[in-house]
Amino acid sequence: MSKKNGGSNLERYNHFKKLYDNAIKKYKIEEYKSSYCSFDSVANGYRFENEELAYDAKYYLALHFLIGLGITKNLDKAQNLFKEVFTSSSKYKERAKQKLLDFIKYAG
């Protein structure tokens, strides 16, 4: 990537897509600290160029906070992230909706 402009959009996409794919692999083999760091980088570093990829990463961040995978459990953060994903173009939007309904169901 070029230092001046952060690289082309395609280079940036490839970088963050690779990071996201690696995070998924780490998540599946239960290396949660590593997957959390990678999902966080994608969610916060790529949100302007590809919102969908960033929100997909936020869905997994929410799962980390919900269950306490590799980080301290934080239901408020999980709920806020699920809300963001639900109102986005993420492929996990319906799953996020279900998680939010679960929050309502178990809170009452």
Residues of the chain with pLDDT under 50: 1-5
Is 52 within the bounds of a domain? yes
Number of compact structural domains in the chain = 1
- In angstroms, the CA 85 to CA 100 distance is 10
Structure tokens at 49: 């160029």
Is 27 within the bounds of a domain? yes
Question: Residue 32 maps to which CATH number?
Answer: 1.25.40.10
Its pTM stands at: 0.87
- In angstroms, the CA 58 to CA 78 distance is 9
pLDDT at residue number 47:
59
Residues 6+ apart with CB under 8 A from 1: 7, 8, 11, 12, 15
pLDDT at residue number 4:
45
Closest CA to 50 of 80, 91, 78: 91
Domain that holds residue 80: 9-107
pLDDT at residue number 1:
42
Is 68 within the bounds of a domain? yes
